[in-house]
Amino acid sequence: MTRLAAVGDLHVGVDGQEHVRGALSGVDEQADALLLAGDLTRCGDPDEARALAEVLEPLALPIIAVLGNHDHHAGSVDELVRTLADAGVRVVEGTALTLQVDGITVGIAGTKGFGGGFAGATITEFGEPLIKEFARCAQAMASRLERALRTLRGADHRVALLHYAPISATLQGENPQLYPLLGSHLLGEAIDKAGADLVLHGHAHFGTEHGHTPTGIKVRNVAQPVLGRAYALFDLRSQVPV
């Protein structure tokens, strides 16, 4: 069995280091790996990245993360990723990696994702260049996620790690007018095509924790305001006969 801890939207600022340190204290005794579903920092400022890195570095477990929209605001993504990498955090974006835990392979494919909306209210590649660029960005991220998940077909378990939501069900509680900015059906479609055992996302602070894709893959909104606890824990049961 493999136990994963997951949380999103830590929004760490230079004034919030102790708060997140308290939240993640002991997670390395509870889980085999920690997954962070984006919005790691308040605005992607390098000082915020260092504050978070100082909290994460001492934790004795693998940490895998995707970035969120907040992490892009300051325009320092490369420095943020380097700072986190120096602290042992592996940031995935349109890529995948595998963890070995007690002989079990857990594959994790991740992307920040993007908006675009859901059935009945989607942004399409039509009209002004900015709208077309928006739509193309969402398509590209979904395509990369699908490819990354397909590389994990030999893994015992596959997890999709996102920031934006892949389904609308886990947005319930948010203002529906915001849905096109909170997620995209293209992410859910990519996951259903490639397959996964669990999907984790954040971004929607007023959303709902539990949902599933049209084919039944479990989706969990692990934004910390939604969880109401420090992080969520998931046991991936071995599917190998013993």
Q: Does 180 bind other proteins (CB under 8 A)?
A: no
Number of residues located near other proteins, criterion CB under 8 A: 38
**Hey, what's the torsion of the CAs at 114, 118, 124, 127, to 10 degrees?**
-90
Overall residue count recorded for the chain in this entry: 242
Residue among 227, 37, 44, 117 at smallest CA distance from 52: 44
Provide the minimum distance between the beta carbon of 156 and other proteins in the complex, in angstroms, as a whole number: 12
Task: Show contacts with other proteins in window 75-134 (CB under 8 A).
Answer: none
Q: Does 169 bind other proteins (CB under 8 A)?
A: no
The stretch among 88-96, 118-126, 163-171, 228-236 that binds other proteins (CB under 8 A) is 228-236
Q: Does 19 bind other proteins (CB under 8 A)?
A: yes
Provide the minimum distance between the beta carbon of 27 and other proteins in the complex, in angstroms, as a whole number: 8
Q: Does 171 bind other proteins (CB under 8 A)?
A: no
Report the distance separating Cα 220 and Cα 159, nearest Å.
11
* Of the residues 12, 63, 96, 152, which one makes contact with other proteins according to CB under 8 A: 12
* Of the residues 37, 38, 66, 70, which one makes contact with other proteins according to CB under 8 A: 70
Report the distance separating Cα 203 and Cα 225, nearest Å.
10
Task: Spell out the alpha helix ranges (H) of the chain.
Answer: 17-24, 27-30, 46-56, 69-72, 77-86, 129-150, 179-182, 185-194, 224-227
Categorise residue 216: left if φ over 0, alpha if ψ from -120 to 50, beta otherwise.
left
Using the minimum distance from each CB to other proteins, give the nearer residue, 32 or 94: 32
Q: Which residues of this protein are in contact with other proteins, per CB under 8 A?
A: 3, 9-13, 15-16, 19-20, 22-23, 26, 30, 42-43, 70, 73, 157, 197-198, 205-206, 218, 220, 224-225, 227-237
